[in-house]
């Protein structure tokens, strides 16, 4: 999906939101005619809104028609279906799905010591992400950009280092501080390794109003 704020703006229109909700619920490709009829609007207006939803990354467009639909037409009509698993917006940004995947995989891989397995997997996920960013040509200096995209809200600290204003796993960290903060630190440390950042380390530095992890030289 493209920028989530673009998606939010697209759904601010009530007619567009009604079309999106209808298409998403069907679980199959939907034509302009069907969508327009369901939303009680003309085919042309439905087509306009559906294309805006495609531009926002909320829908996918394609061509699919049954023999009945094609009878008497020169070409198959355009159809639409939902893209991705939906849209979730939180301010500040949260990444609960990431931590849930790590914990679920840890329990499956090593139920006898899921905590250690989770730390190992968190570091691995961080390294994989860092390597992808580096291979995309963004370089080792993009660590703050990568952290910003993940929702950590990084900021250069006085005297060097980087502080993180937001914890993407905040609610879980409030309930299971030692476990989640440990996974967070392992993930950010892995990210630095994947980016091949030298001379910087991720360490636990909890303080009110900030993420429990900070970067220090």
pLDDT at 140: 46
Q: E strands along the chain, which residues?
A: 30-31, 59-63, 78-82, 154-156, 162-164, 201-204, 213-216
Q: What CATH number is attached to the domain comprising 167?
A: 3.30.1380
CATH number at 78 reads: 1.10.10.10
One domain, residues 123 and 199? yes
Q: Are 184 and 172 within 8 A, CB to CB?
A: no
pLDDT in tens, 67-78: 554 555 556 789
| 92, 98, 102, 107: CA torsion to nearest 10 | 90
Position 83 scores a pLDDT of 84
Walk across the sheet containing 213-216 and list its strands.
154-156, 162-164, 213-216, 201-204
Q: Which two tokens stand for residue 67?
A: 């023999």
Please state, in angstroms and as integers, the Cα–Cα distance from residue 94 to each residue in 9, 56, 165, following that order: 20, 21, 12
Q: What is the mean pLDDT of residues 44-73?
A: 78
Q: Note the pLDDT tens digit of each residue in 84-113.
A: 666 555 555 677 788 889 999 998 988 888
Q: How far is CA 33 from CA 69, 117, 201, in A?
A: 11, 51, 57
The per-residue b/e assignment along 24-42, b for 16 or more CB within 10 angstroms, e otherwise, is: beeeebbbbebbbebbebe
Judge if 126 and 211 occupy the same domain: yes
Please provide the average confidence, as pLDDT, over all residues in the chain: 83
Q: What angle do CA 63, 65, 70 make, to 5 degrees?
A: 120
50, 142: one domain: no
Mean pLDDT over residues 3-32, rounded?
82
Q: Which residue has better confidence, 197 or 75?
A: 197
Question: Do 120 and 189 reside in the same domain of the chain?
Answer: yes
Domain finish residue from 82, 117, 149: 82
> Are 205 and 106 in a shared domain?
yes
Beta-sheet strand order (sheet of 30-31): 30-31, 78-82, 59-63
| Residue 199: predicted pLDDT | 87
Phi, psi of 75 (to 5 degrees): -150, 160
Residue 212 lies in a domain: yes
Domain that holds residue 75: 4-82
3-7, 82-86, 135-139: segment of lowest average pLDDT: 3-7
Closest among 200, 184, 97 to 142, alpha carbons compared: 200
145 and 207 housed in the same domain = yes
For the residues 140-164, what does the mean pLDDT come to?
A: 82
Q: Identify the residue with better confidence: 69 or 23.
A: 23
91 is a domain residue: no
Question: How many Å apart are CA 88 and CA 125, to the nearest integer?
Answer: 22
Q: For a pLDDT cut of 90, what percent of the chain falls above it?
A: 32
**pLDDT, average across residues 124-128:** 93
100, 200: one domain = yes
pLDDT at 217: 81
pLDDT reading at 66 higher than 70: no
Number of domains in the chain: 2
Residue 65, pLDDT > 60, answer no
Span 33-48, mean pLDDT? 91
Question: How high is the pLDDT of residue 1?
Answer: 43
């Amino acid at each position: 999906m493209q920028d989530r704020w673009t998606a939010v703006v697209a759904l601010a229109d009530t007619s567009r939101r009604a079309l999106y909700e209808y298409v998403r619920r069907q679980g199959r490709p939907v034509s302009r005619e069907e969508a327009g009829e369901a939303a009680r609007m003309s085919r042309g207006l439905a087509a306009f809104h559906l294309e805006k939803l495609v531009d926002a990354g909320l829908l996918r467009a394609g061509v699919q028609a049954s023999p009945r639909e094609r009878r008497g037409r020169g070409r198959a009509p355009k159809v639409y279906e939902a893209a991705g698993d939906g849209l979730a917006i939180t301010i500040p940004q949260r990444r609960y799905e990431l931590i849930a995947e790590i914990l679920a995989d840890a329990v499956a891989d090593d139920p006898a010591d899921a905590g250690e397995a989770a730390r190992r997997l968190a570091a691995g996920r961080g390294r994989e992400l860092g390597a992808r960013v580096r291979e995309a040509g963004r370089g080792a200096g993009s660590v703050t950009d990568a952290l910003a995209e993940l929702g950590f809200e990084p900021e250069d600290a006085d005297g060097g280092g980087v502080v993180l204003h937001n914890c993407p796993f905040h609610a879980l960290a409030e309930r299971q501080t030692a476990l989640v903060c440990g996974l967070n630190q392992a993930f950010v440390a892995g990210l630095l390794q994947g980016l091949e950042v030298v001379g910087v380390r991720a360490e636990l530095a909890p303080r009110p109003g900030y993420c429990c992890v900070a970067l220090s030289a």
